[in-house]
Amino acid sequence: MEVRFLGVTTNFSNNAIQVKGQKQIIDSLNCIGLSELVTTPTLPMLCDLNYIFALSFPVDVEFTPINISIILRKDGIDKASMSFNLTELLKSGDFKPKTKTIKTQIIHQKFNFTQIDSPGTYDVVCKVSEETIIGQIIFHPLPPRKYSLEEINAIKSNPLAIKYVRGEVSCNQCQEKLKFYTSFSKDKNLEKNGYIFAKEIPKNYSCKCGNMNFSTDYFRDGIDFFLGDSSVGREDLGIKALYQSRTLQGIANRFRNLLSTESSEEEFQEFIKKNPILLHMFNAREIRFKNPVLSKYKTDFTILTHSKRVINIEIEKPGLSMFTKTGHVAKDLKHAFDQLSDWETAISNNRGSYLEDLGYSNSEIVSIEFFVIAGRTGNHKLKSFHHLKNQYRNYGFMTYDDLLNSLIQLVSNVDKL
Ligand SMILES: [Zn+2]
C-alpha cells in the first residue's frame, strides 16, 4: 500500500468516457495547475482546493477494509485532517482493478474550509498503519489589497464592477453560522440579514461550541481583493454586481434629462463624477477629478487606463457652439483644444515630474493623451466633424451624445448578459 501526494488544484474533474462502439473506457483526468505552492488572497481560502493523491495497492485489497488518514501538520501541530476508507472508495465505482496485481489510482479529497488559516509550509502526512510524510504544501498570502480613491472611481466606471462579496461558513457541530461580506461601503441590508462586515470579524473567531475557530488575520483585509476582480464568478461566493441594466438605464435617463436643461459645465462635471460609468469606454484603472498639471493647470478628469495610458480630459458645456456657418471649428471649441495644447506643452517639457506627481514612473507610462468632451452631435454635418478630426489629429473628441449613446449601448449589452 503506497500513497503519494501529487499537489493541489482548484480545477479538477475525473470523467470516464465510453468510446462509441468499443468496450474501452477512457479515463479523462483533468487537473489544471497542479501545485505545491498556493498563493491566495485570503486564509482560510475562499475557494475549494482539491488535494490529489496517487494510491498503489494490491488488487485483492478490495476485500480488506483499510483506513487512510491525511493530516496537514505545521510546526508539529496538526492543523487539518481527513480520513477515508479504501473499501468505500472502491465501491464508488471509479476503481476498476481487473487483471494486474497492483492498481494505481488517482484520488482527490478536500479539507474543511477553516482549518488552514496561517501562511507557511505544511507537511502532508499519511497515516495507514504508521505515519509517513508524503509531501509538503506552502500557503502564501497575497499582500492585503488596499484601494485608493482613484482606483475606486475607476472600478465604478467598470460595467462589471462588484458591489459586494459575501459568503458563509457554518460549524458542523453547533451549526453556528458565520456570515460575512465586504464592500467599498457598508451595506445596511446585508447587516440586517446577519452578514458581518469582514473587517469587524473578531481577530480570533470561534463558534459557541469552539469547534470552528480560526484566526482572521489573513482574511479580514484579504477578502477585499475580490472587489477589484470582476472576473471572479465563484459559486461558493455570493457576488453582487454594482450595475444592473435597470440602474444603468436610470443613469442614462437622468443624464438625458440633464442634457435637455441649460445646465453649466460644473453640473456635468459633478454628474460624471457621481456616475463614472459614463467614462466606461476608457477602461480605467484610476480616475482623478480636477487633477493639477504641474501646478499650472487643472484637468477635469485624468485617467490611467489598464494599458498604462494617461488620458487628460477637458469638458465644456453641452450648449457650446461647435461649428461656424461654413462648417469650421468655432471659437469656443477651438479654445477647448487650445487648452489641451497648453497642457501638452507643459507636460512635454516636464514629463518626468508630471508623472511623478501622479505617482507613476516615467518608464511605466506608454503615452499621455488629451481629450475634449463638448457640445451636442445635433444636426451638424458629417463634413464638419471631418474638419475637426483633421485639424486636431492628435487629440480625442466626443460630444455629450457620444457619452449618452455609449451608455445606452452598454444597457443593451448588460441586458444580453
Ligand atoms: Zn460550533
Beta carbons of 209 and 172 less than 8 angstroms apart: no
Name the band, by pLDDT with cuts 50, 70 and 90, for residue 378.
Answer: confident
Reported as a single tens digit per residue, the pLDDT across 290-325 is 999 998 899 999 999 999 999 999 999 898 888 988
Residue pair 70/22 in contact by the 8 Å Cβ criterion: no
Q: Answer for the pair 37, 77: CB distance below 8 angstroms, yes or no.
A: no
Give Dmax (Cα) for the chain.
96
DSSP-derived secondary structure letter, 145 = -
pLDDT band at 233 (very low <50, low <70, confident <90, very high): low
Q: Compute, in angstroms, the gap from residue 205 CA to the centroid of ligand 1.
A: 11
Q: How far apart are the first and last CA of the chain?
A: 51
Report the pLDDT value the prediction gives residue 417, as an integer from 0 to 100. Answer: 64
**What integer is the mean pLDDT of 363-369?**
93
Round to whole Å and give the CA distance between 59 and 99: 8
> What confidence score (pLDDT) does residue 134 get?
92
Q: Is the dihedral of CA 327, 333, 337, 338 positive or negative?
A: positive
Task: State residue 235's pLDDT score.
Answer: 53
2-141 has which CATH code?
2.60.40.1930
Confidence of residue 352 (pLDDT cuts 50, 70, 90): very high
CA of 82 to the centre of ligand 1 (A): 18
Give 99-134 pLDDT, tens digit per residue. 555 666 667 777 766 678 899 999 999 998 899 999
- Expressed in angstroms and rounded, the spacing between residue 122 Cα and the centre of ligand 1 is 25
Work out the average pLDDT over 81-108: 67
For residue 246, how many C-alpha atoms fall within 13 Å in the half-sphere facing its CB?
1
C-alpha cell at 84: 477515508
Average pLDDT, the chain: 85
Kindly give the distance from the C-alpha atom of residue 46 to the centroid of ligand 1, in angstroms, as a whole number. Answer: 19
Checking if the pLDDT of 288 tops 90, the result is: yes
pLDDT score, position 270: 93
- Ligand 1 centroid–CA 197 distance in Å is 20
The pLDDT value given to residue 120 = 94
Query: 72 CA distance to ligand 1 centroid (A)?
Result: 21
The region of weakest confidence among 8-12, 133-137, 257-261 is 8-12
Domain ranges of the chain: 2-141, 149-241, 259-416
* pLDDT score at 6: 85
Burial of 84 (0-12, 13-18, 19+ CB in 10 A): middle
Instruction: Name the residue with cell 461580506.
Output: 181
User: From CA 158, how far away is CA 411, in angstroms rounded?
Assistant: 13
| pLDDT at residue 19 in the model | 46
Res 25 pLDDT > 60: no
Residue 47: its pLDDT value, please? Answer: 74
